[in-house]
Structure 1
Amino acid sequence: MHRTRDRLARFVGESLDGAVRARTAPLRIEAWEVPGEPVPFASAITRPFSPFAVGTEWGRPWSTLWLHVRGRVPADWVRTERHRAEIVVDLGFDGLAPGFQAEALAFRPDGTIIKAISPRNAYLPVEDDEIDVYLELAANPGIHPESHWVTTPLGDRATAGEAPLYRLRELQLALVDREVWALQQDVAVLAGLADELPADHPRTAQLAAALDRMLDAVDPDDVAGSALTARRLLAPALAAPAAASAHTVIATGHAHIDSAWLWPVRETVRKCARTFSNVVALMDEHPDFRFACSSAQQLAWVKESYPDLFERIREKVASGQFVLVGGQWVEPDTNMPSGEATARQLVLGKRFFLEQFGVETREVWLPDTFGYTASLPQVIRLSGSDWFMTQKISWNQTNAMPHHSFWWEGIDGTRVFTHFPPIETYNAELSPAELAHAQRTYRDHDTGTVSLAPFGWGDGGGGPTREMVAAAHRQADLDGSPRIELGTPADFARRARDENPELPVWSGEMYLELHRGTLTSQLRTKQGNRRSEQLLHEAELWAATAAIRVGTPYPADALERVWQRVLLLQFHDILPGSSIAWVHREAEEDHARLARELEAIVQTALAALSGEGDLDLVANAAPLALAGVDALAVGVASRDAAAATITETADGWRLRNGVLDVGVDTAGLIVSLRDASGRDAIAPGESAGLLRLHRDLPDKWDAWDIDRHYRANGLDLREAESIEAAVADGVATVRVHRRFGASTVIQSLALRPGAAAVDLTVEVDWRERHRLLKLTFPLDVHAERSTSEIQFGHVHRPTHVNTSWDEARFEFTAQRWIHVGEEGYGVAVANDSTYGHSVTRETRADGGTTTWLGLSVLRAPTFPDPESDQGEHTLRFSIRPASTLTDAAEEGHRLNGTVRSWRGAREVAPIIRVSDPAVRVETVKLAEDRSGDLVVRLYESSGGRRRVAIEVDADVAEATIVDLLERPVGEAAVPGDASRVELELRAFEIVTLRYRRS
């Protein structure tokens, strides 16, 4: 095959590729450059267009150029079944990667969309002899994801410069020879297959012989004249059927369009139009082609901005070609969003698909996200979905997942069918190499015969091409290759589950052994997300309470609009901090705007509930009693606790409040932390609250990764420029100023009256590059495991590194709190905006164990945002000794702003009470259907079975257990008095109750 390969490469490069176009002809081009942000078609075509020539430079970074292209098909062109006329375009493409450079969308003069132009899909059909086409060219910079170490200024309009990025290389008519094009596809498949088979395989020799016969027969100077003969000679090799034992790949078209990444959100809207227009055009040519689309947000954008295209999509959905999957608003991160946000992704996404298309999606489709929370299986089931697909887990650095199809079991015991496509890409081209990889890597040949392959250009969009469909057709039943069937994800899931219902089980979180830095990068985006989630919880709770108690109109439309934006900002390249500067600047602005809107809703509701008066009130939106006020209630502020005190000692200060005794050294660090029992939580000779600065140069993905070698070096920030200790308003505080590198930090330790925890505040002016700042707590606890809050519960993770799986989990997620303990004693650390955590342990010389808890505070990557996290930040933490998991949850709720104070006339009793504090109310709201029904979502938080009574302080006629979309689970309402419902919940079970109001 080696000799044939060289001969074939020369033939393809010098003769075959050039013969696809039988003839070409020029077109007339005029242009108008948009001076600012993109404008709609109707506005663009009214502007003054000027002559524009092929060869002209164009495209300031992020700019838009409109072209008006006119001409006529030459009269002497004979268009037959063999020949078709096309407009061919080269915008100045850099290489062949679609989605990461210039793109265009083509319109007819009436504003309807034809299709898009991008590398590998750079043609337009000619619909009439008279040509009149508008092209919207997007000068998106070529910020390639492979540029892992590049510091690029192109990620923001302010720094991208004015020089043009592209030169229009080609825009002309072409007469395409279909037979020559088909010969191209035949050769690509057979040559690719021969390259994948072993050199001594009989099929390899047969393929080489067939290709040699073709090369002998074809005339390189007249490929068109000998193309039919060439194809006949290759036909027997293409007709040889696959082996009976061949693996089957169900190939579904796909275009994983990142809702923002190396481009801003506004560009994603246009990418969706380009990709989806390509898809529906391809469907017209190939009725057997199916395309899976997962994000409701992206279709909502198309509906708003491209209504004609949206109607074409509706038609293709109805025909079964455009297949809606996933059911989420976007493809989100699953580690950092709250439980309610995780649920709302499916609530809003599935509602959109149902309302706009009449389709209920049955799977959760997350090909590219950075780890998978152990709560997700139950949320999937409660949404009315029943299986899960992802691809990213194949990127694990250390350990390969043991199966490709299996049951995934969540923390509550719920199981969902799960599949990792063994083709190990969501951007497949369906090449012989990719199909061979899928068959070779599939780990379940003993029990299964089928896998899924999402194919099409993704990340930056583009979608499937006609070449990919041609490859699928040629490999449908081909000797030496897996079989391919063009189908839907549902086709695959049905086949895979039917052939083996007794699948293996994976229990707990699916930890991605990569991209651990996404738990820390772009702190402001993460803080905005945490604040938005909390404000949404408060806004829904108090607005629902005010609607029921005093008749205040419930702001359903405003809340839905805010939820849609918050869920978009949880997309898996926005919340993780792995996008360009433009994206994160807009995310910060959005979160600030949403906070103002939500604050107004909260204040309106609370004012209506409490009235005007002089009482000092506290509104507690937490599901636990805080500040002396019941859960989900408004009460009078308590001021009974005695003030904290500070005593100066020879070695620093001693802070006391009657509950805790805290020793602080002259560096402002905690050296002892004792509760009433006298036990010290801090390991002997160590200091808690210590900031440690590490070199942070990941091997590959800058904003994405924290690699284990960061631990090889670390600078302890002990030196203090100044330190003050004082008591004000009963709070004892030690405040320390430090300087390191080009940065400064103020660390404050505060002990409040009667508090069972010490508060720590870090105010940092961060000016570092490629550094990681960790906040450390060396605890005198023999902890076999750590416990971290996740959505609707918690997970345990071992502190040892017995296995490679344990060792690889050196940085992991916790939400508002983490707890480490031994029998009878534990320590909790809570945070207001930190997600990245680490826990290790060591045995001391005295035989005791020091458990090291680390929180990743800040990073400083330079790609894709060279200014990532530069500037001022404030973070809050607390450490609580002698704590339970409930204590840890209290600290998490307190730090995250669930308690607010103001003055009013009356207290407000909670609208919902639960008899067991381990059963926590996650959400109180009114129903999505605007019926006015009350909806309460709660969950068992301890990990054990609970019998609980739920009381409603409102006139309700009926209580029904419903799914996340607020549809009855089963047929009957909960028996008995609706105002007092008794339930038995299993460990971590989520229950949603819908109350019909009297």
Structure 2
Amino acid sequence: MNNNIKLHMIGNAHLDPVWLWQWQEGYAEIKATFRSALDRMIEFPDFVFTCSGAAYYEWVEQNAPEMFEEIRQRVQEGRWVIVGGWWIQPDCNLPSGESFVRHGLYSQRYFQEKFNVMAKVGYNVDSFGHHSMIPQILKKSGMDSYVFMRPDEHEKQMERSLFWWESKDGSRVMTFRIPISYNNWTANDNEDPTRYKALKVFELAEKHEHDLMNFFGVGNHGGGPTIGNIQSIQRLQEEYRADRFKISSPNAYFEEMGKRNLDLPVHTDDLQHHASGCYSAHSETKALNRQAEHRLLTAEKFSAFSHLVAGFSYPATEILRGWKNVMFNHFHDIMGGCSIKEAYQDSREAYGESLNIAAVSLNAALQKISWSIDTMKDEIQSLSKDVDWLTWEQKDAGIPVVVFNPHSWEVHAPVHVNRMLKGVSDDQGEAVEYQIVRASRTNIEDKYDTVFMGRIPAMGYRVYWIYKDKKLPLTAVGQQALVSEPYALENHWYRLEIEPHTGHIKRLYDKLNGTEVLKGQGAVPIVIDEHHCDTWSHGVFEFRNEIAKFSDAQIKLIESGPIRSILRVTNRYNFSVLQQDFILYRDKPGIEVKVKLDWQEKHKLLKLSFPVNVNEPEATYEIPYGYIERPVNGEEEPGQQWLDVTGNTGADDAQRYGLTLLNDSKYSFDVKDNDLRMTVVRSPMYADHYGVRDEFGEYMDQGVQQFRYALVPHEGDWRNAEAFKKANELNVPPIHIIETYHKGSLPQIAEGIRVSASNVIVTAFKKAEDLDGYILRCYETDGKDGETTIEIPVLNRKWTMRFGKCEIKTLWIPSDPEQAVSEVNMIEMPV
């Protein structure tokens, strides 16, 4: 043995609070595991325990306060080492960028408050892959190193177990991949498993010529280090030398390795792939997650804005509760769709609570603003419903509708009001074109709604007026009129043709650029067999076993008017039905598609295919707080709200052109050559790890689901398509409140923020956790350095600052106007 090499023996208990059991069982197991770890400390004075997951500590604090005090004492002694700095060990591909920030914000502050320490080491030992913006998020959340295990060596070969991991902005963390397992591990029944594994890892350390960590302890369902584990290590220490197999912690390991100035490789990619099926398993959980993340952020923004302009009481406690539910459901076995069926009733309830908390907070904030807007008209003396039982309109004066935009840029978007109207005007009294559309209700003759296009200021609002009986003469005319045919739609930008017998897109023509967008049929619903996959799709990285396409098309023009036209395409396969509503707006580029799927298949997967008409294609995916280019090799990849394929087109291959696909609830995609595909649904059994399948197995994603996607053809690349902004607009449309007449201090139009650079997006605006003032979080989207001027009129603040490429900035805006705006880290502490 090399006399200079040693192993840091890491005593841990991998704790899945939910997997083949529900969270209530996980709750009990965490208490038992923590008790066991404390017992080991009494029995073995040199024993050190490592544990992550702020949620677990909070459970113990609430349910076993005496044990919590013991843990506090051991933390102060340095024998109980807190790692991770996040609420649980989440899926590290699917939560939003801001969600990863919240894991650090709430968890690190919790650890600081309760234990007077913060985690120094990021720790996700069982998560199924890791997006490449994690280094920046870790660094700005107080952590400068990272531990993971998946993908394993057989899934991703890497030069070393220890390396630097660097994100696009240049942030770098020392990163360690756990060899063999985070648990106890048995490969040979004739040997002591602790000894056997330790010697195997020691061989690897000698090969790498530096120390490694070796993890031990019973895991998954908790347990942690056993008496036998520690006795085995003691025997190794006696046999080889005590410091060769040192009971240690990740903190101690990284501190020691950081002092050695090792020449370590630098990794700048994400860390994939493991369990590719988890990007699409259990569609409902993923859709609820997307909705809850966005609604909480929107509630925060308008709660802060409403507090400033109307004195609204900011609901900090409620919003924190909402985020805790969402963060818990990010746990990799929940978010990854690989837990038991009963666990998804629990996650449904938790997401429901968060969505309701956000909805109640948001509504109260918006209505506080809308009630404070001056909407009184000279001819109105008092409120009365003499004229109409449904609205407060009098004397054909109209009723105000306050439309809110949560984004940090102006949006031009449809507003859908559940009334049948004769007129619409803006805040200046200018008539606005509208369209009568079928409502969801069938109430005698009352079964029609109204849609009009609103233009709403950034993170602000605008009042529109709706009229029950008064018709208004239009003075402004929009773009070229919509053309609606039985199998085709056309506007100023595109001509979209549907093939009658298949229901697939036959042609999508970009009129402004003179380009055929697709090379072959598009929106093709392809059924893929995956009987050979377990729930995770372990060892399967491509889904290409095509067995059928949805067919038997029925096509119907269901809307045709001055605002938009809709072609409904209905396809069938076996007992499954796919309904796609292709929507073209007259004054808004892009093709929006509203989908309703009734899925009745088992061990099958459905993809929508879009072969983009380009050569030398390049695929770019949105990842949390960033983007990444990946090979066009057909491998299943995780993504967020958009995916783009761009390449060369034209006779000389000089013109750059592409197609961006937006979505509101999907996370799984692949691109093979120029064929862009979105995975819509998978139907494996629940928690099937290559088990013996029988007639009692339960299958996920059976029945009806609904979602939206959109196609944005563009010249240039995804930046020209404004992919980040358009995806957020699809996910978070304007919100409106139907108001009445009243005096107020606020104007009928207000802008909440101004950001000079188009490549800087604001994701969060909230009250600071304990600083006096507000937090604004922004990130650079396009990979370009530059200066940006930001203005918040209601705070009378305006400042200019520089953003590096792909940089995430957290800014503190003090309530005291004499104090300058300053940058803080993601846990809202000085940089």
- TM-score, with length taken from structure 1: 0.68
Distance (whole Å) between structure 2 residues aligned to residue 552 and residue 857 of structure 1? 41
Shift of 1:246: 6.6
**Which of residues 345, 348, 351 in structure 1 aligns to 2:109?**
351
Does residue 317 in structure 1 map to residue 80 in structure 2? no
Tell which has more relative contact order, 1 or 2 (C-alpha 8 A, sep 6+): 2
Whether the 8 Å contact between 1:654 and 1:661 is mirrored in structure 2 is yes
In the other structure, the counterpart of 1:742 is 575
**Which of residues 566, 569, 592 in structure 1 aligns to 2:326?**
566
**Which of residues 491, 500, 522 in structure 1 aligns to 2:261?**
500
Distance (whole Å) between structure 1 residues aligned to residue 237 and residue 562 of structure 2? 77
In the other structure, the counterpart of 2:507 is 672
In the other structure, the counterpart of 1:765 is 598
What SS class does the counterpart of residue 987 from structure 1 fall into? Answer: coil
Distance (whole Å) between structure 2 residues aligned to residue 424 and residue 994 of structure 1? 42
**Which of residues 984, 989, 993 in structure 1 aligns to 2:802?**
984
In the other structure, the counterpart of 2:482 is 645
Does residue 831 in structure 1 map to residue 668 in structure 2? no
In the other structure, the counterpart of 2:349 is 589
Whether the 8 Å contact between 1:695 and 1:713 is mirrored in structure 2 is yes
In the other structure, the counterpart of 2:672 is 840
Shift of 1:681: 4.0
Larger radius of gyration: 1
Whether the 8 Å contact between 1:644 and 1:657 is mirrored in structure 2 is yes
Shift of 1:912: 2.8
Does residue 528 in structure 1 map to residue 288 in structure 2? yes
Whether the 8 Å contact between 1:409 and 1:506 is mirrored in structure 2 is yes
Distance (whole Å) between structure 2 residues aligned to residue 481 and residue 852 of structure 1? 58
Question: Would the alpha carbon gap of residues 920 and 873 (structure 1) be closer, same or farther in structure 2, given more than 3 Å must change?
Answer: same
What SS class does the counterpart of residue 954 from structure 1 fall into? Answer: helix
Distance (whole Å) between structure 1 residues aligned to residue 237 and residue 751 of structure 2? 62
Question: Would the alpha carbon gap of residues 660 and 455 (structure 1) be closer, same or farther in structure 2, given more than 3 Å must change?
Answer: same
Does residue 278 in structure 1 map to residue 36 in structure 2? yes
What SS class does the counterpart of residue 406 from structure 1 fall into? Answer: strand
Shift of 1:670: 1.6
Shift of 1:725: 5.0
What SS class does the counterpart of residue 271 from structure 1 fall into? Answer: helix
In the other structure, the counterpart of 1:897 is 732
Whether the 8 Å contact between 2:503 and 2:554 is mirrored in structure 1 is no
1:373-431 C-alpha deviation (Å, 9 max, x unpaired): 1111001110111100111222543x312211111010211111111122443445862
In the other structure, the counterpart of 2:642 is 817
Whether the 8 Å contact between 1:669 and 1:688 is mirrored in structure 2 is yes
Whether the 8 Å contact between 2:562 and 2:586 is mirrored in structure 1 is no
Which residue identity is paired with 1:663? E
Distance (whole Å) between structure 1 residues aligned to residue 595 and residue 606 of structure 2? 11
Segments of 5+ residues of structure 2 without an aligned counterpart are 187-192, 376-398, 413-454, 466-475, 648-654, 689-697, 742-746, 817-831
Distance (whole Å) between structure 1 residues aligned to residue 112 and residue 699 of structure 2? 42
Task: Between 288-297 and 474-483, report the one with greater CA deviation.
Answer: 474-483
Shift of 1:471: 0.8
1:751-780 C-alpha deviation (Å, 9 max, x unpaired): 122221111122111111100000111110
Question: Would the alpha carbon gap of residues 875 and 504 (structure 1) be closer, same or farther in structure 2, given more than 3 Å must change?
Answer: same
How do 1:482-881 residues align onto structure 2 when only pairs under 5 Å count? 483-512=244-273, 514-611=274-371, 613=375, 614-627=399-412, 628-636=455-463, 641=478, 645-648=482-485, 653-666=487-500, 667-684=502-519, 686-699=520-533, 701-705=534-538, 707-708=540-541, 710-721=543-554, 723-727=556-560, 730-799=563-632, 801=633, 810-822=635-647, 823-841=655-673, 851-864=674-687, 866-881=698-713
Does residue 415 in structure 1 map to residue 172 in structure 2? yes
Shift of 1:245: 3.7
Distance (whole Å) between structure 2 residues aligned to residue 676 and residue 732 of structure 1? 18
Whether the 8 Å contact between 2:30 and 2:222 is mirrored in structure 1 is yes
Shift of 1:783: 4.5
Distance (whole Å) between structure 2 residues aligned to residue 995 and residue 583 of structure 1? 41
Whether the 8 Å contact between 1:696 and 1:706 is mirrored in structure 2 is no
Whether the 8 Å contact between 1:518 and 1:705 is mirrored in structure 2 is no
In the other structure, the counterpart of 2:396 is none
Segments of 5+ residues of structure 1 without an aligned counterpart are 1-242, 802-808, 842-850, 957-978
Shift of 1:864: 1.5
Q: Identity rate of aligned residues, in percent?
A: 27
Does residue 911 in structure 1 map to residue 746 in structure 2? no
Distance (whole Å) between structure 1 residues aligned to residue 202 and residue 749 of structure 2? 63
Distance (whole Å) between structure 2 residues aligned to residue 706 and residue 485 of structure 1? 35
1:139-188 C-alpha deviation (Å, 9 max, x unpaired): xxxxxxxxxxxxxxxxxxxxxxxxxxxxxxxxxxxxxxxxxxxxxxxxxx
- TM-score, with length taken from structure 2: 0.81
Whether the 8 Å contact between 1:668 and 1:723 is mirrored in structure 2 is no
In the other structure, the counterpart of 1:431 is 194
Distance (whole Å) between structure 1 residues aligned to residue 477 and residue 3 of structure 2? 77
**Which of residues 361, 368, 375 in structure 1 aligns to 2:126?**
368
Shift of 1:674: 2.2
Whether the 8 Å contact between 1:693 and 1:772 is mirrored in structure 2 is yes
Question: Would the alpha carbon gap of residues 728 and 477 (structure 1) be closer, same or farther in structure 2, given more than 3 Å must change?
Answer: farther
In the other structure, the counterpart of 1:845 is none
In the other structure, the counterpart of 2:781 is 941
What SS class does the counterpart of residue 237 from structure 2 fall into? Answer: coil
Question: Would the alpha carbon gap of residues 287 and 722 (structure 1) be closer, same or farther in structure 2, given more than 3 Å must change?
Answer: same
Whether the 8 Å contact between 2:9 and 2:216 is mirrored in structure 1 is yes
Shift of 1:358: 0.7
1:667-711 C-alpha deviation (Å, 9 max, x unpaired): 332222223325344434x21111100001245x32444825631
Whether the 8 Å contact between 1:776 and 1:852 is mirrored in structure 2 is yes
Question: Would the alpha carbon gap of residues 588 and 728 (structure 1) be closer, same or farther in structure 2, given more than 3 Å must change?
Answer: farther
Distance (whole Å) between structure 2 residues aligned to residue 436 and residue 945 of structure 1? 49
Whether the 8 Å contact between 1:616 and 1:636 is mirrored in structure 2 is yes
In the other structure, the counterpart of 1:137 is none
In the other structure, the counterpart of 1:192 is none
Question: Would the alpha carbon gap of residues 679 and 798 (structure 1) be closer, same or farther in structure 2, given more than 3 Å must change?
Answer: farther
Which residue identity is paired with 1:499? R
Task: Between 278-287 and 735-744, report the one with greater CA deviation.
Answer: 735-744
What SS class does the counterpart of residue 255 from structure 2 fall into? Answer: helix
1:828-852 C-alpha deviation (Å, 9 max, x unpaired): 11000011010111xxxxxxxxx10
Whether the 8 Å contact between 1:288 and 1:486 is mirrored in structure 2 is yes
1:496-548 C-alpha deviation (Å, 9 max, x unpaired): 22223432100121122x20111100100000000000001100100011112
Which residue identity is paired with 1:938? C
1:189-243 C-alpha deviation (Å, 9 max, x unpaired): xxxxxxxxxxxxxxxxxxxxxxxxxxxxxxxxxxxxxxxxxxxxxxxxxxxxxx3
1:699-745 C-alpha deviation (Å, 9 max, x unpaired): 5x324448256313331213225644541573211112222123222
Distance (whole Å) between structure 2 residues aligned to residue 535 and residue 566 of structure 1? 11
Whether the 8 Å contact between 1:422 and 1:437 is mirrored in structure 2 is no
Whether the 8 Å contact between 1:668 and 1:735 is mirrored in structure 2 is no
What SS class does the counterpart of residue 45 from structure 2 fall into? Answer: coil
Question: Would the alpha carbon gap of residues 437 and 742 (structure 1) be closer, same or farther in structure 2, given more than 3 Å must change?
Answer: farther
In the other structure, the counterpart of 1:976 is none
Whether the 8 Å contact between 1:544 and 1:925 is mirrored in structure 2 is yes
Question: Would the alpha carbon gap of residues 745 and 579 (structure 1) be closer, same or farther in structure 2, given more than 3 Å must change?
Answer: same
Corresponding residue pairs, total: 707
What SS class does the counterpart of residue 326 from structure 1 fall into? Answer: coil
Whether the 8 Å contact between 2:543 and 2:636 is mirrored in structure 1 is no
Distance (whole Å) between structure 1 residues aligned to residue 705 and residue 269 of structure 2? 34
Question: Would the alpha carbon gap of residues 694 and 828 (structure 1) be closer, same or farther in structure 2, given more than 3 Å must change?
Answer: same
In the other structure, the counterpart of 1:256 is 14
**Which of residues 213, 231, 240 in structure 2 aligns to 1:452?**
213
